[in-house]
């Protein structure tokens, strides 16, 4: 199954146009056409042409930048759709699908009906398609791309012999070489002596020929469905007690964790949906501080959320899904086994992650944070605050000059002149300066527009007062003003 | 009688202590530096003062520190109880804004005993809880030389031991707490207005 104009068909499905249309892609500083629709092709445009040439040929050309990742997603969606015909569906070269319909054609009434059904459905979806059907994958490819057709079973060379050698999935340079020798069709190639050809063009040519004719086997590797981490439990009688819901959740967790273990994954975000008899859904979300798949550790974390659920007239279905999963190596479980068995636990990391999760269920996982060093000389930007669940501790804390223990938003004080004031009032306290160390000049980071640094340079002074407080004052020479920004230990 | 600081500091494990005064943050930083394991600092999210990891780096490695920001004091207490009981975290600092009643204070003590972790409440002056193991007052003092961290620590309540007062200074290079001189010989200090 070959989609000759998949990218432009995809875009035009969303926005039908009755005009010449092309997708462009920037390559080596030139906009080139990536894919054109049928109408543009009739006007003589072709992919690979430069956009300016195309515009000269067709002044009313409508264009849009191409989005290859979206095309790949669309093709993956089509692959999934194609499993309605047979279970073995693979993706072929970014713009085609390969289906092994052996044994499943009769379900739709034979090969002809199956092809008709495919064509009708794809036409309705607005996709141009060329389908080739043959005994081998190579022959089907050749038929799909070069003149569409159905090869009778066992036809072999008879079906594809008339096609050009390019239909053998060969390198373009190789095709040119073959044409120079006068071998234009597959039948010519099959009739020629194998050994000289193999010596001249390498083993690939003969391999492709044999694959197309069925002398060499070739598999279709169907893509696996991504594993689904969801389990559910339907109850004959509604339940309402928290303990019962916990027991149900425990059963689901056992199943889910077995699934996760088989895939060497750990759950990061879990969602428990409780369906009540009156069809109202209650949801319990659990965000974990680290990937986990140990039911004994996860279950207690659900306790708080389940307590808060309003059971109404009762719950008759529980559904547990791991919404977000992360890879988790297998040896982690053995450590948690030790924990469960009550051994003295050497790995503190697991315990800490559990604790972060438990605290996170109460105050929100993003409110449990950690300091990370940042590369800036601005005091309040010299560190980052990041959620502890999503970052590892980082070393590399260097304070070249003494920094205050506590920082707050600058609090202005009454003072004049570039020297620190001898006496000043701060937070309703009268303070007298005993010793002032400084200044340390810090310039704003001009490449970042920071509201707080609008007043320009700052001269920081460390002021020790007779009253004992050691404060961090700054003076802004460009906009004379004094402020207190921090306090030392 | 002036007792030895070593009898009451480092703070006793498995208990919750209190500190107030202008140098309470300095006291907490020294206490964190002398604790083992991970540290947790719990504050209410609306507070303007933020601890500065670069300032803390003179006392201990800030990568050991976790911070929790909560909505109100009830959550501060809930998080502290959870962390103390769990025992993964060696030292928990809580910033409080209203006094604890006996039940809340006692619950914290029980949690700390269970997890063998130490708690330290930063309280406003005069809002101590009866359940606390020890209550400290820490005020900064003017040192004889610059870049000093001279503080006066006074233990004003001690459930198991005597009370006393010391002038201390943190030696950032050696990571050690130095007792400078006794209060009686203190020449040039007056308690700071709180």
Q: How sure is the predictor about A430, in pLDDT bands with cuts at 50, 70 and 90?
A: very high
Q: How sure is the predictor about A487, in pLDDT bands with cuts at 50, 70 and 90?
A: very high
CA-based max dimension of chain A = 106
Kindly list the residues from chain B whose CB atom is less than 8 angstroms away from the CB atom of residue A355.
82-83, 86, 88-89
Candidate from B25, B65, B79 with C-beta closest to A363: B79
Quote the pLDDT of residue A349.
Answer: 65
CA-wise closest residue to A206 among A188, A194, A223? A194
Residues in a beta bridge with A26: A31
Quote the pLDDT of residue B194.
Answer: 45
Quote the pLDDT of residue A155.
Answer: 72
The mean per-residue pLDDT over the stretch B117-134 comes to 92
CA-wise closest residue to A323 among A287, A296, A289, A275? A287
Between B84 and A44, name the one with better pLDDT: B84
pLDDT digit string (tens) for A142-188? 888 887 777 777 777 777 777 888 888 888 888 888 888 888 888 88
Q: Indicate yes or no: CB of B52 within 8 angstroms of CB of A407.
A: yes
* C-alpha count within 13 angstroms, C-beta hemisphere, residue A359: 36
- Distance of residue B185 Cα from the nearest chain A Cα, in angstroms: 17
pLDDT digit string (tens) for A36-93? 888 888 888 888 888 888 888 888 888 888 888 888 888 888 888 888 888 888 888 7
Can you list the alpha helix ranges (DSSP code H) found in A152-222?
A: 157-160, 172-180, 186-191, 194-201, 203-213
Q: How sure is the predictor about A346, in pLDDT bands with cuts at 50, 70 and 90?
A: very low
Q: How sure is the predictor about A345, in pLDDT bands with cuts at 50, 70 and 90?
A: very low
CA-wise closest residue to A293 among A272, A265, A273? A265
Computed over its alpha carbons, how large is the radius of gyration of chain A? Answer: 35
Where are the domains positioned within chain A?
Answer: 230-363, 406-487
Report d(CA A403, CA A487) in Å as an integer.
9
CA-wise closest residue to A464 among A434, A426, A428, A421? A434
Q: How far are the Cα atoms of A119, A145, A175 from residue A126, in angstroms, in the given order? A: 10, 19, 33
Q: Indicate yes or no: CB of A408 within 8 angstroms of CB of B192.
A: no
- Within an 8 Å CB–CB cutoff, is residue A339 touching chain B? no
Quote the pLDDT of residue A189.
Answer: 82
Kindly list the residues from chain A whose CB atom is less than 8 angstroms away from the CB atom of residue B71.
363
Q: How far are the Cα atoms of A244, B96, B99 from residue B75, in angstroms, in the given order? A: 28, 11, 14
Quote the pLDDT of residue A343.
Answer: 45
CA-based max dimension of chain B = 46
Backbone angles phi, psi at B107, to 5 degrees: -60, -40
Report d(CA A294, CA A335) in Å as an integer.
10
Tokens 């057709």 sit at which residue?
A149
| Res. A227: pLDDT tops 50 | yes
Q: How far are the Cα atoms of B138, B167, B190, B191 from residue B186, in angstroms, in the given order? A: 15, 8, 9, 11
Report d(CA A420, CA A408) in Å as an integer.
19
Residues in a beta bridge with A294: none
ipTM topping 0.85: yes
CA-wise closest residue to B47 among A266, A17, A407? A407
- Distance of residue B46 Cα from the nearest chain A Cα, in angstroms: 12
Candidate from A351, A435, A488 with C-beta closest to B86: A351
Report d(CA B154, CA A277) in Å as an integer.
63
Quote the pLDDT of residue A341.
Answer: 46
Residues in a beta bridge with A27: A30
Quote the pLDDT of residue A331.
Answer: 60
Helix (H, G, I), strand (E, B) or coil at A208: helix
Contact between A32 and A25 under an 8 Å Cβ cutoff? The reply is yes
Average pLDDT taken over every residue of chain A: 85
Q: Has residue B28 been placed in a domain?
A: yes
Quote the pLDDT of residue A344.
Answer: 44
Q: Indicate yes or no: CB of A486 within 8 angstroms of CB of B51.
A: no
Between A165 and B155, name the one with better pLDDT: B155
CA-wise closest residue to A465 among A442, A441, A487? A487
- Distance of residue B174 Cα from the nearest chain A Cα, in angstroms: 16
CA triplet B53, B36, B91: central angle to 5 degrees? 70
The DSSP symbol for A185 reads: B
* C-alpha count within 13 angstroms, C-beta hemisphere, residue A42: 4
| Res. B34: pLDDT tops 80 | yes
Contact between A137 and A161 under an 8 Å Cβ cutoff? The reply is no
Question: A221-258 as b/e, with b when 16 or more CB fall inside 10 Å?
Answer: ebeeeeeebbbeeeeeebbeeeebbbebbeebbeebbe
pLDDT digit string (tens) for A238-281? 998 999 999 999 999 999 999 998 888 889 899 999 999 988 88
Report d(CA B105, CA B119) in Å as an integer.
11
Domain CATH for B79:
3.40.50.300
Q: Indicate yes or no: CB of B55 within 8 angstroms of CB of A464.
A: no
Contacts of A224 (CB under 8 A, 6+ apart): none
Candidate from B37, B38, B192 with C-beta closest to A468: B192
Report d(CA A380, CA A448) in Å as an integer.
14
Candidate from A405, A437, A470 with C-beta closest to B52: A405
- Sign of the CA dihedral running A342, A347, A348, A350: negative
Q: Indicate yes or no: CB of B54 within 8 angstroms of CB of A383.
A: yes
Domain total of chain B: 1
CA-wise closest residue to A488 among A412, A372, A408, A434? A408
- Distance of residue B139 Cα from the nearest chain A Cα, in angstroms: 7
> What residues of chain A, 391 to 410, have a C-beta less than 8 Å from chain B?
393-395, 397-399, 402-409
Q: Indicate yes or no: CB of A370 within 8 angstroms of CB of B71.
A: no
Kindly list the residues from chain B whose CB atom is less than 8 angstroms away from the CB atom of residue A435.
142, 146
Closest B-chain CA to A380: B52
pLDDT digit string (tens) for B158-189? 998 888 899 999 988 888 888 886 555 455 55
| Res. B18: pLDDT tops 70 | yes
Between A212 and B23, name the one with better pLDDT: B23
Q: Indicate yes or no: CB of B68 within 8 angstroms of CB of A355.
A: no
Burial class (CB in 10 A: 0-12, 13-18, 19+), A163: buried
pLDDT digit string (tens) for A301-344? 888 889 888 888 999 999 999 988 888 877 654 555 445 444 44
Between B192 and B161, name the one with better pLDDT: B161
Closest A-chain CA to B62: A371
Q: Has residue B194 been placed in a domain?
A: no
Report d(CA A475, CA B16) in Å as an integer.
41
| Res. B118: pLDDT tops 90 | yes
Which residue segment(s) compose the domain that B146 sits in? 5-185
Residues in a beta bridge with A315: A239, A276
CATH number of A230-363: 3.30.1490.100
Report d(CA A94, CA A71) in Å as an integer.
8
Tokens, residue A483? 């402020």
The mean per-residue pLDDT over the stretch A370-375 comes to 90
Report d(CA A279, CA A433) in Å as an integer.
70
Quote the pLDDT of residue B110.
Answer: 94
Q: Has residue B192 been placed in a domain?
A: no
| Res. A358: pLDDT tops 90 | no
State the pairing for strand pair A265-276/A383-387: unpaired
Q: Indicate yes or no: CB of A468 within 8 angstroms of CB of B189.
A: yes
- Within an 8 Å CB–CB cutoff, is residue A438 touching chain B? no
Backbone angles phi, psi at B148, to 5 degrees: -95, 155
Q: Indicate yes or no: CB of B53 within 8 angstroms of CB of A397.
A: yes
Quote the pLDDT of residue B2.
Answer: 52
| Res. A20: pLDDT tops 60 | yes
Kindly list the residues from chain B whose CB atom is less than 8 angstroms away from the CB atom of residue A436.
none
One-character DSSP codes across B102-168: HHHHHHHHHHHHHHT-EEEEE--TT---TT-SEEEEEEE---SSSS---EEEEEEEESSS--EEEEE
Report d(CA A145, CA A130) in Å as an integer.
7
pLDDT digit string (tens) for A103-152? 888 888 888 888 888 889 988 888 888 888 888 888 888 888 887 777 77
Contact between A253 and A317 under an 8 Å Cβ cutoff? The reply is no
Tokens, residue B3? 């007792």
Kindly list the residues from chain B whose CB atom is less than 8 angstroms away from the CB atom of residue A460.
none
- Within an 8 Å CB–CB cutoff, is residue A383 touching chain B? yes
- Within an 8 Å CB–CB cutoff, is residue A366 touching chain B? no
Closest A-chain CA to B76: A363
Report d(CA A127, CA A6) in Å as an integer.
7
């Amino acid at each position: 199954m070959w989609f000759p104009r998949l990218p432009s068909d995809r875009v035009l499905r969303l926005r039908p146009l009755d005009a010449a249309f092309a997708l462009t892609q920037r390559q080596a500083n030139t906009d080139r056409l990536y894919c054109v629709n049928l109408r543009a092709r009739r006007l003589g445009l072709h992919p690979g042409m430069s956009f300016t040439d195309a515009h000269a040929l067709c002044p009313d050309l409508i264009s849009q930048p191409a989005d290859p990742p979206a095309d790949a997603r669309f093709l993956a969606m089509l692959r999934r759709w194609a499993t309605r015909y047979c279970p073995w569906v693979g993706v072929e070269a970014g713009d085609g699908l390969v289906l092994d319909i052996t044994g499943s054609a009769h379900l739709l009434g034979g090969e002809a009906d199956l092809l008709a059904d495919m064509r009708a459905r794809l036409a309705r979806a607005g996709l141009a398609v060329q389908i080739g059907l043959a005994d081998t994958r190579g022959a089907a490819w050749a038929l799909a791309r070069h003149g569409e057709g159905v090869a009778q079973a066992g036809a072999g060379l008879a079906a594809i012999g008339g096609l050009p050698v390019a239909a053998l999935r060969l390198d373009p340079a190789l095709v040119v070489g073959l044409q120079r020798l006068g071998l234009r069709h597959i039948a010519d190639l099959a009739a020629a002596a194998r050994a000289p050809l193999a010596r001249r063009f390498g083993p690939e040519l003969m391999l492709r020929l044999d694959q197309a004719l069925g002398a060499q086997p070739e598999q279709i590797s169907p893509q696996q469905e991504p594993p689904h981490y969801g389990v559910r439990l339907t109850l004959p009688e509604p339940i309402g007690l928290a303990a019962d819901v916990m027991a149900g959740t425990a059963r689901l967790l056992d199943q889910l964790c077995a699934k996760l273990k088989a895939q060497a994954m750990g759950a990061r975000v879990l969602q428990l949906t409780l369906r009540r008899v009156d069809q109202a859904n209650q949801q319990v979300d659990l965000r974990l501080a680290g990937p986990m798949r140990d039911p004994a550790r996860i279950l207690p974390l659900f306790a708080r959320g389940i307590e808060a659920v309003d059971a109404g007239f009762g719950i008759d279905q529980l559904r547990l899904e791991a919404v977000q999963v992360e890879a988790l190596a297998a040896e982690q479980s053995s450590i948690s086994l030790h924990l469960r068995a009550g051994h003295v636990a050497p790995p503190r990391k697991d315990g800490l992650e559990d604790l972060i999760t438990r605290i996170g269920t109460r105050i929100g996982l993003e409110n449990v944070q950690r300091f990370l060093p940042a590369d800036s000389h601005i005091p309040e930007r010299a560190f980052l605050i990041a959620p502890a669940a999503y970052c590892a501790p980082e070393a590399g804390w260097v304070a070249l000059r003494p920094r205050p223990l506590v920082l707050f938003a600058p609090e202005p004080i009454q003072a004049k002149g570039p020297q620190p004031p001898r006496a000043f009032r701060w937070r309703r306290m009268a303070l007298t300066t005993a010793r002032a160390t400084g200044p340390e000049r810090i310039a704003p980071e001009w490449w970042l527009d920071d509201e707080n640094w609008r007043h320009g340079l700052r001269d920081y002074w460390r002021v020790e007062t007779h009253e004992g407080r050691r404060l961090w004052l700054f003076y802004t020479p460009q906009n004379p003003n004094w402020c207190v920004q921090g306090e030392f230990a | 009688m002036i007792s030895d600081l070593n009898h009451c500091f480092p703070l006793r494990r498995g208990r919750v202590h209190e500190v107030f005064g202008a140098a309470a943050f300095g006291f907490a930083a020294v206490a964190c530096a002398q604790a083992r394991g991970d540290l947790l600092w719990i504050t209410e999210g609306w507070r303007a003062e933020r601890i500065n990891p670069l300032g803390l780096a003179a006392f201990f490695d800030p990568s050991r520190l976790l911070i929790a920001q909560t909505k109100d004091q009830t959550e501060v207490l809930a998080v502290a109880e959870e962390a103390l009981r769990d025992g993964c975290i060696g030292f928990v600092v809580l910033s409080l804004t209203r006094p604890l009643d006996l039940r809340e204070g006692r619950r914290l003590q029980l949690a700390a005993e269970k997890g063998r972790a130490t708690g330290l409440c930063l309280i406003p002056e005069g809002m101590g809880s009866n359940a606390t193991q020890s209550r400290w007052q820490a005020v900064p003092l003017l040192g004889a030389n610059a870049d000093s961290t001279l503080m006066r620590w006074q233990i004003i309540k001690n459930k198991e031991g005597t009370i006393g007062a010391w002038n201390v200074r943190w030696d950032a290079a050696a990571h050690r707490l130095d007792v400078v001189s006794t209060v009686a010989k203190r020449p040039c200090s007056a308690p700071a207005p709180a």
